[in-house]
Amino acid sequence: MEGTVKIEEIRQLAEIMQTYGLESFELEEGATQVRLRRSGAGAAQIPAVPLPAATAAPAEPPHQKSVAREAPAAPEAGRVVTSPMVGVFYSAPVPGAEPYARVGQKVTPGEVLCIVEAMKMMNEITAEFGGEVAAVHVNDGDIVEVGQPLLTLI
């Protein structure tokens, strides 16, 4: 973890925290400092560090909405698109714009389906396979976890 911290390293540290029930975790290696803190119902606690260090978001979201926008169960023949990272789900490029993918819409491989914002970076989630959107499992602004279903394609 020398120099810069990669998102995958932060993800691994967050998983370790969750596995062992840790409330906070600090790691210093040279000029790099990483501080992870799980918060309860309050706002995210991200300490400011004046060094060229990486600071991570909480390992566990303060409160996650569990109500899905589209309630139907994933069809057996469906293929689920999951989140590759912890972040905030957005269905459109900007607030008020048309969503990238709607239920009933046909998508092709490589087409943008949604965005997951992580550490102020907007990450486009693209279709690895073509199909029709059968369900969107999360709402705009929901915090998503690694591996959480975002959409189902049939």
Measured in whole angstroms, the distance separating CA 58 from the mean position of its chain's CA atoms is 12
Say what the pTM is: 0.52
Q: Pick the residue with more confidence: 23 or 40?
A: 23
What's the per-residue H, E or C state across 40-75?
Answer: CCCCCCCCCCCCCCCCCCCCCCCCCCCCCCCCCCCC
- Express each pLDDT in 59-82 by its tens digit: 555 444 444 444 444 444 589 999
What is the model's pLDDT at position 108? 96
Listed by start position, the domains of the chain span 1-60, 79-153
CATH class label, 79-153: mainly beta
Mean pLDDT of the chain: 77
Q: Does residue 146 register a pLDDT over 70?
A: yes
